[in-house]
Amino acid sequence: MKLFILVLLVFNSCSQNTSLEPIKEEIIATEIAFAKMAREVGLKEVFLEFAADSAVLSRNGNIIKGKQQIVTYFDSQTLQNVSLEWEPGFVEVARAGDMAYTYGPFIFSAISAEGEPQTALGYFHTVWKKQGDGSWKFIYD
């Protein structure tokens, strides 16, 4: 009996994951568009475009809440020639299909106000929420 229940659970989880594959593909496409736009128009503009109204950024141990604080944060930056490259390495979607998270490697580079090159390598983590219009916006980055 235990084996039968285990088999049912495995089949159930496999079928649920399969039904979420199109949503995972949407999230990957959203991440790719997010990264592409960052290269083309800049970080402030792209973060405002892809942020939900109540989005939260975690930067340097600080929490930045909402779009107005995101604007203030980016306006206060003194770095020049900023570049941020990333790609999703993992996507997980909530069973309801309305939330997801991604993570993957990033490379950040810039020139400081003193003219010193700055580089950071790491992993990003983004939480996505499906909006009423069907688009995906991040709620945490």
Is residue 42 situated within a structural domain? yes
For the stretch 80-84, contacts whose Cβ atoms lie closer than 8 Å and that sit 24 or more positions apart, written own/partner, are 80/110, 80/111, 80/112, 80/113, 81/109, 81/110, 81/111, 82/42, 82/43, 82/108, 82/109, 82/110, 83/39, 83/107, 83/108, 83/109, 83/110, 84/35, 84/38, 84/43, 84/108
Is residue 45 situated within a structural domain? yes
Share the mean pLDDT of the chain: 90
Q: 129 has which bridge partners?
A: 99, 137
The CATH number of whichever domain residue 80 belongs to comes to 3.10.450.50
At residue 10, the pLDDT reads 42
At residue 17, the pLDDT reads 53
Is residue 8 situated within a structural domain? no
Structural domain count of the chain = 1
At residue 3, the pLDDT reads 37
Is residue 43 situated within a structural domain? yes
Is residue 5 situated within a structural domain? no
CA–CA separation, 135 vs 130, rounded Å? Answer: 6
Quote the percentage of the chain above a pLDDT of 70.
87
